[in-house]
Structure 1
Amino acid sequence: MTNAVNLIWEHAETRPGALALRDGDRRWNFSQLQHAIRGATEELAGRGIQREDRVLMVVPTTGEFVMVYYGLLALGAIAVTVNPSCTPRELTHFIRDAGCTDIIGWHQGSEATLTAAAAAGVKPWILQPGCVPADGTREPVPVHQDDIAVLLYTSGTTGAPKGAALTHENLRACGAGLADALGLGPGDRMGTALPLFHVFGQAAVMSSTYTAGGSLSLQHPFHPEGLLQMAAEQQLTGLAGVPTMWNAMLHAHTDITAQDLLGLRLACSGGAALPLKVSQAFKERFGALVLDGYGLSETTGAATFNRAIHPRKEMSVGRAIDGCRLAILDETHTELAPGQTGEVAIAGPVLMREYWGRPEATEAVRVGEWFLTGDIGRMDEDGDLWIVDRKKDLVIRGGYNVYPREIEEVLYGHPDIREAAVVGVPDEHLGEEVAAVISTEPGAHIDCAALRSWLEERLAAYKVPRIYQFVEALPKGATGKILKRSIDRTVIATRGERPARAAGSTPE
């Protein structure tokens, strides 16, 4: 009957003066954070919010997010955390789909929140810095471990956004598993610019940091030079971000060097595949090796991570965290032997309870104890996992399976390429053709024919993209993850460059 907020209470009792949270110039120790969460709980209860009520949170990465989020959990209510950049139409959909009684917004950009509240007939609370009372007395209510704590909307493996229902036990298991895998302790100082509405920032980072009793430093919005400066000034021991953040920091115009970041022992990546080139270059410039793990919203953002005690294997996302199990399944859901490629399946205490209100969708991704991720991968005999690609991103070119991630890794090795995404576009003859969308380094110019020749030296002929599109920047979501679904395949197919093969190159 343990509430997920109890981990804050435990540290407030044993280490009340220890630093817990930093947001800009504002600081809270664990005792102060506990009082602030109590104050948020009193305010929420005064607004009529009760146990199991769903409350939409449209709040950016701020100290107030932390207080109100845990205040909702303390009441036994359910936090429905969504992107603050959502439109009124999108917010209204979330309110109605989850059956929300209230909506909480932020003073900046509150128009969408207020419009959605009026349209759906729910009560709004607009937050601003310092608005949460710091003198509450209410204690967290006991909850069952399978009670829902959070609804996180995700597209899942297929279809429209669905609410992944994460329980108090899911949050506890995620925090414990990742804190153990990362070797987090009470002396750690973790910093991030990740959005806390997303599973990575909210569960994988915040829950694991507070499980260990460390402190959490927040930046909003993400600014590469600013995050590095924060890491140096606060002597952070850990940073967490997605690959595009590491890439941006790698190219940051800053005087910060590895000597300024001597305490930085953890550089944690997730949310998407981390190009090896970026990890290696970040270590060369700043002294910290970026390690990645693997998880989904449906697994509370946790499943695997690379541990320091295990040999680092190139491009592996590591082994299962404590309590989790992995399998590679074929199309009949039979487990495959080590080294074989199939769909990644996960079991363990981090698995969501359900997709909210969608029993058929829940059933479609469960086979016995296993959750079907929709990702293609392989494992070796040690249990190390490699993600080959998303099942839905697989390109079938003339009967050959082409995995975009493999090609992207090669593209990131080109000195003039900053970001790249490989997608399939319709082709009358082959069914699908391989296309590369590329953002170059500032001032760089890439000749398409030369790039194709360069790729032909490194990839089998059927994998080499035939179509190229150069853009200033690739489309990204709120976490900084490259959004392949936002890339217009039709435009690429009709307007993309199709360089001729170099004379004397290997026949297709």
Structure 2
Amino acid sequence: MNLAVLLEESARKYPNKDAFIFMDKHLSFAQIDNAANQIANGLNTLGIHKGDRVALSCLNLPYFPMIYFGILKAGAIVVPLSVLLKHDEIEYHLQNSGAKAYFCFEGTKELPMAKEGLEGFNRVSNCKHFFVITPQMTDPSPFEGVKTLGMLMANRSSVYSTMVTGADDTALIIYTSGTTGKPKGAELSHSNLVLNAMLSKEILSLEREDKLLIVLPLFHIFAMTVLMNAGLYVGATSVLLPRFDGAQVLGLMEKHDISIFAGVPTMYWGLLNSDETQFDIASIAKNLKTCVSGGAALPVNVLENFEKKFNVPIYEGYGMSEGSPVVTFNQKEFGKKPGSVGVPVWGIEVKVVDDKGKELPAGAKGELIYRGHNVMKGYYNNPKATAETLKDGWLYSGDVAIKDEDGFFFIVDRTKEMIIRKGLNVYPREIEEVMMKHDAVSMVAVIGVPNEESGEEIKACVVLNQGFELNEDDLITWTKEQIASYKYPRIIQFMEALPMSATGKILKKELS
């Protein structure tokens, strides 16, 4: 089994049908498949074959599926990276994954992706090939001596015999952080991802005639599996948007008769607060048949107001990168409950357990654990973290949940200190370590605080070194330059001291 079968089957059945629409470009399934074949041929000439890792940083552009499936066809492993990473973070990911090649979109003046990517690439020895993805395939390289994606594909055959891979072979290494240490690479198999795409079809009630709007980032497992891969599986058309903007989303919904939309809670909040006077909301609502939400808890008032305005239900779910990602979902077949993340999806067993792994009765709080076809193989080259997360076939999520009498699950707290800002996971320890590098900073504790727009906002409680002066804006600006833009704290509170326990542990529960 090779995950590339999702694209290849639709290219065989519906070669001339639109697979992806981006701005005024319409690319058919055959065109995407042919481009992926050219990339696979190019990778083979570089000596990249089965089991090698290839990193990819790209916005929601047609280049993403072309390269993604080109890597898979070659039998290699895709390592998708956030487009917001800075060079230090890119260096770590390339080094840790052992990537042999790296494709990076050129970016913009405001988001100089290739500049940051090339700097990170130049610091590692294992990664031998860097290709910049230019806006147009024929554009010259912005860097002297650096090859472009267009140069790799030039004169390559669009015919390729896809490498045979096993169902349990690794297809994807997707990075997810913890509360301690560096990000960890979750290894997902071809089987993990194919089965999750297939069940996502059922969750979305997805059919070939549907049109999906993909504004969630494709480098994130949610959009990658539930939208891109599920859409390719059924032969549906996906409309790509690189960055969320409420007016643009509404405009594309109206223009393309969008029937499927998935977002994080802040996107639904943004759509409710967009200027809708220029759009035919009734027409948009008529075409929308399924909306899903994940990444964070959707406020009930946002859910109710959106459903009322657009006359479409929002189905919430729960997932993790380690779960490929879908674990539970509110589903049309079983109904839905506001505030719930639904019931286990097909083939997945979910329990709420105490600290000894014993299952708890309905209504009791405990850790959510699960097992089934969606569970990752483990963390790449990290047996210690794997052993802490995978026990007797069960994946311990670190999330506190309850199950009600009807079998619906509710996420009520987190054992990890993870902050979810606009649907993206932010890990305090990583930010704290960066901020501690500032000469003026003696100690820092990063927490999440409730925010209507972001879900949670990042706040840093800071103790300065004696004799130093620093204002909030300067520290925010400095931190923003060191770390991906979704991670830096928007709120700074200077304190004389941080609350601590008798053992010296910072008591974050006393911070707000």
How high is the TM-score relative to the length of structure 1? Answer: 0.78
1: CA distance, partners of 2:258 / 2:218: 19
Q: How does 1:86-485 map to 2 (within 5 A)?
A: 86-108=85-107, 109=112, 110-121=114-125, 122-128=128-134, 129-130=136-137, 131=150, 136-156=158-178, 159-255=181-277, 256-261=279-284, 262-393=286-417, 436-438=449-451
Q: Is the 8 A contact 1:178 1:321 kept in 2?
A: no
Question: 2:494 and 2:448 mapped to 1: Cα distance?
Answer: 11
* 2:61 corresponding residue in structure 1: 62
The amino acid of 1:247's aligned partner reads: W
Q: Deviations over 1:435-463 (max 9, x none)?
A: 9554689xxxxxxxxxxxxxxxxxxxxxx
Residues in 2 aligned to 1:337 and 1:16: alpha-carbon distance in whole angstroms: 52
Distance 1:191 1:364 in 2: 37
Q: Is the 8 A contact 1:186 1:213 kept in 2?
A: yes
Q: Report the secondary structure of 1:335's partner residue.
A: coil
CA-based RMSD: 3.1
Residues 385-434 of structure 1, C-alpha deviations (whole Å, 9 max, x = no match) = 1111212359xxxxxxxxx99xx9xxxxxxxxxxxx9x9xxxxxxxx9x9
Per the alignment, do residues 486 and 323 of structure 1 end up closer, same or farther by CA in structure 2, a change over 3 Å counting? Answer: farther
Deviations 1:287-328 (A, max 9, x none): 323221110010012111111122322211111111111100
5+ residue gaps, structure 2, are 138-149, 429-444, 455-475, 499-512
- 2:502 alignment counterpart: none
Q: Aligned letter for 1:30?
A: F
The match for 1:455 is none
Matches within 5 A, 1:492-507: none
Does the CA-based 8 Å contact 1:279-1:291 persist in structure 2?
no
Cα 1:107–1:481 change in 2 (3 A) is closer
Change (3 A) 1:156 1:233: same
Other structure's SS at 1:303 match? strand
Distance 1:88 1:73 in 2: 26
Tell me how far 1:481 sits from its aligned partner.
12
Taking only the aligned residue pairs, the percentage that are identical comes to 27
Q: 1:438 to 1:179 in 2, by over 3 A?
A: closer
Tell me which amino acid in the other structure corresponds to 2:208.
P
Q: Residues of 1 paired with 2:309 and 2:157: CA distance?
A: 46
Which segment is superposed worse, 23-32 or 2-11?
Answer: 23-32
1:488, distance to aligned residue in structure 2 (A)? 5.9
Q: CA deviation at 1:375?
A: 0.5
- Secondary structure at 2:326 match in 1: coil
Structure 1: 5+ residue stretches without partners: 395-403, 409-420, 424-431, 442-472, 496-508
After alignment, is 95-104 or 123-132 more displaced?
A: 123-132
In structure 1, what is the equivalent of residue 145 of structure 2? none
Is 1:22–2:34 an aligned residue pair? no
Q: TM-score, normalised by structure 2?
A: 0.77
| CA separation of 1:3 and 1:231: change in aligned 2, threshold 3 A | same
Deviation at 1:213, TM superposition (A): 2.1
Q: Is contact 2:204–2:260 with CA below 8 Å preserved after alignment?
A: no
CA distance, structure 2, for counterparts of residue 491 and residue 337 of structure 1 = 44
Checking the alignment, whether the CA contact within 8 Å between 1:271 and 1:481 is kept in structure 2 is: no
Query: Which amino acid in the other structure matches residue 117 of structure 1?
Result: F
Residue 145 of structure 1 and its aligned partner are, at CA, apart by 0.8
